[in-house]
Structure 1
Amino acid sequence: MTEHRPVNITGLALKIPPALIFILWIAMMATLRYIFPGLNYELFLTPYVVGLFFILGIFLVLAGFFSFRKAKTTINPRKPEKTTAIVTSGIFRLSRNPMYLGFLMWVIAWAFMQANLVTFVFLPLFVFYMNRYQIIPEEKILLSQFGDIYYRYLNKVGRWL
């Protein structure tokens, strides 16, 4: 392990818990559905698509949660400096952020459930927000804390997939 160097985190970075971001995101999407009713659509497969993304989201969130618990490290996304281990097994072999990917699956499910084209604009915005204000600051802290071990993991496993 390399020497721990302090990382300067400013602005919105790590301030709002990802679960709250998820709730705010779906609230904004629901609101826009009513503001732009002319962009509503009907798709007979919607219940199946919603169910698929919802179940996938549950799997990803729970797999990430239980992997952190098994490794006895923090699941607090606002305090990555309290991380005691880099989890690279299980679902973390496929994604460095399976719980955030699970939230994205739920946002996708919600977009389909709203059946309004404008809600799909929020999908890339969710990814942008999470990258900018949650994931990249976490990565900086973990790289400072775990050095080469985390650097190798960054280069081996994708941020989302």
Structure 2
Amino acid sequence: MSYLTGLELKVPPIIVMLSTASFMFLAAKATGQLSYDVLEIKIAGWFCVLAGLIVIFRGVQVFRSHQTTIDPRTPDASSQLVTSGIYRFTRNPMYLGMALCLTGWGLYLGSFIALVLVYGFSTYITRFQILSEERLLKSKFGLMYLDYIRDVRRWL
């Protein structure tokens, strides 16, 4: 993997997500004057978290049923291109689920600043995880992968 640079594929996405969630909490506490406290928004936050967990679970479930790796740090270990189930709608359901969980967390925290950090998470994951995975999958699966990315969006 000589084309990988810096942080690409080195930090497990779950660590990135948990770090982002921690920064969101700290940002919400530090900028309380920019916060809101609305019960309906907090409830919507819980629904986002639940939706995110379902999306993550479905992504893992489909990978396991196809007996391919779920370790995002080793996309070269993938045994086949998975395009069924939730992968018909998004190429990255596990990252999408993480972003949904973080969005729900930001809504629950009631912080505009915390919600901005979800964009930071998505940008980081795209740059240091998804783009690297895509390069590798393109080289491994060729035209089949190019057809897939033409038909299915990266996030949603």
In which range does the TM-score fall when normalised by the shorter chain? over 0.9
- TM-score, normalization by structure 1: 0.93
Number of aligned positions between the proteins: 156
Q: Hey, what does 2:84 align to over in structure 1? A: 89
CA distance in structure 2 between the partners assigned to 1:121 and 1:47 by the alignment: 17
Corresponding position: 1:60 with 2:44: no
The residue number in structure 2 matching 1:122 is 117
8 Å CA contact 1:7–1:141 kept in 2: the answer is no
Separation in structure 1 between the aligned mates of residue 47 and residue 117 of structure 2, nearest angstrom: 19
Return 5+ residue gaps in structure 2 as ranges: none
Match of 1:26 among 21, 28, 37: 21
Alpha-carbon offset, residue 7 of structure 1? 5.7
Give the Cα–Cα distance (whole angstroms) in 1 for the partners of residues 30 and 62 of structure 2: 41
Which structure is higher in RCO with an 8 Å CA cutoff and minimum separation 6? 1
**4+ residue stretches of structure 1 with deviation over 4 A?**
none
Q: Distance in 2 between matches of 1:47 and 1:10?
A: 39
| C-alpha distance in 2 between matches for 1:52 and 1:114 | 14
Using the size of structure 2 for normalisation, the TM-score is 0.96
Percent identical residues:
33
- 2:42 touches 2:109 (CA, 8 Å); kept in 1? no
